[in-house]
Structure 1
Amino acid sequence: MGIYDFTINETDGTSKLMADYKNKVLLIVNTATGCGFTPQYEGLQKLYDAYQEKGFEILDFPCNQFGNQAPGSNEEVATFCQLNYQTTFKTFGKIDVNGENEAPLYTYLKTAQGGLLNKDIKWNFTKFLINRQGEVVKRYAPQTKPEEIAEDIEALLI
């Protein structure tokens, strides 16, 4: 099974195929609107602005598993991001990234690129970089700022 075999949920609950992102470089991020790392939305948007026309997409998955830091409905979370950080990349429906209700996409990502000590996501704003072939090439810790990933993105867009 590869990354393009998964289905994800839009903010309105409708399904979207990951296959729609074939041949794109992807940055998949679990986010929260009330986290100390929330200002990273600004850096994520800058990456999106810089590389979107070259085949780069950011897939934003709000997650309320860490300190209840993504309260509200899917629509409220997406609106918060758009209003406060002028995000134009795609925000999807909330997911769990660990545990018994873990999204299958995240099970796949964590298996492909485990973290320190174990594969679990430790906090919001953990990032996964996927190349145009759908391979998970790197995992970034929450404290890794989006601008620190730019060079890796550029290398995959060539």
Structure 2
Amino acid sequence: MSTGINYKDAKSIHYFTVTDLEGEPISLRKYEGHICIIVNVASQCGMARKNFEELNELHQEYAETKGLKILAFPCNQFMDTEPGDSCSMKQYIKLKNLKFDIFEKIDVNGSRGSPLWKYLKRKKRGSFGSFIKWNFTKFIVDADGQPVERFGPCTSPKEMVKSLEKYW
């Protein structure tokens, strides 16, 4: 669950604190100066294999050379596609050899929605409104912590490279 200031008062993602899979708070100030992809993920979703593989490839290709950071947030709000807890998520990460940052499971919509995700949706609305419609909705956040682009679930992570290049 994200903590920190009210999402309406935030000036960037760097104002938020989120929780990692160990239950530890992580200030997103850690990502200042980095281009980030923030994505809601679900290991049991039919789109999981391709998205996780491509996110991992982007991390491997651009984390060192361009400073790209990928922040993934498991979410079970869509057809029970992320039913597990942090322990099962850690097992999945190890099994799939995922190298990017994955945080505690959150809600992206509704009254219990993560303040970070409320902020992202407020700054970058989707085609059909501010809500997240499915797993693997992706936001590009610039080095100043501003959400600059939003991509729907059907956009593969590799298709985002041209957009990412504008911010490096």
Does TM-score exceed 0.5, indicating one fold?
yes
What is the deviation of 1:37? 0.9
Return the offset for 1:78: 2.9
Q: 2:90 aligns with which of 61, 66, 78?
A: 78
Alignment partner of 1:35 out of 26, 31, 45:
45
Unpaired runs of 5+ residues, structure 2, are 1-9
Moved over 6 A (4+): none
CA distance in 2 between partners of 1:140 and 1:128 (Å): 6
Amino acid at match of 2:38: I
Alignment match, 1:65: 77
TM-score normalised to structure 2 length: 0.90
Q: Does the residue aligned with 2:167 lie in a helix, a strand or coil?
A: helix
What is the correspondence of 1:112-123 to structure 2 with a 5 Å cutoff? 112-123=123-134
Amino acid at match of 1:148: E
Displacement of 1:103: 0.3
Query: In percent, how many aligned pairs have the same letter?
Result: 38
1:71 deviates by 1.3
Aligned residues: 156
Residue 10 (str. 1) matches residue 20 (str. 2): yes
Query: Structure 1 residue 81: deviation in Å?
Result: 2.9
**Which aligned pairs between 1:60-139 and structure 2 lie closer than 5 A?**
60-84=72-96, 86-139=97-150
CA drift of 1:23 comes to 0.2
Aligned to 2:159: 148
State the one-letter code of the partner of 1:136: P
**SS of the residue 1:139 aligns to:** strand
Contact 1:6 1:105 in 2 (8 A): yes
Q: What TM-score comes out, normalization by structure 1 length?
A: 0.95
Offset at residue 118 of structure 1 (A)? 1.2
What is the DSSP-based 3-state SS (H/G/I as helix, E as strand, rest coil) of the residue aligned with 1:30? strand
1:34 partner letter: Q
Q: Matched residues in 2 for 1:52 and 1:107: separation? A: 26
Which secondary structure does the structure 1 equivalent of 2:127 belong to? coil
Distance across 2 between alignment mates of 1:140 and 1:30: 11
CA RMSD of aligned residues (A): 0.9
Q: CA deviation at 1:116?
A: 1.6
Q: Paired residue for 2:6?
A: none
2:36 is aligned, of 17, 22, 26, to 26
Q: How many Å separate the matches in 1 of 2:39 and 2:25?
A: 18
Q: Is the 8 A contact 1:7 1:17 kept in 2?
A: yes
- Counterpart amino acid of 2:34? K
Distance, in Å, in 2 between the alignment partners of 1:20 and 1:155 is 22
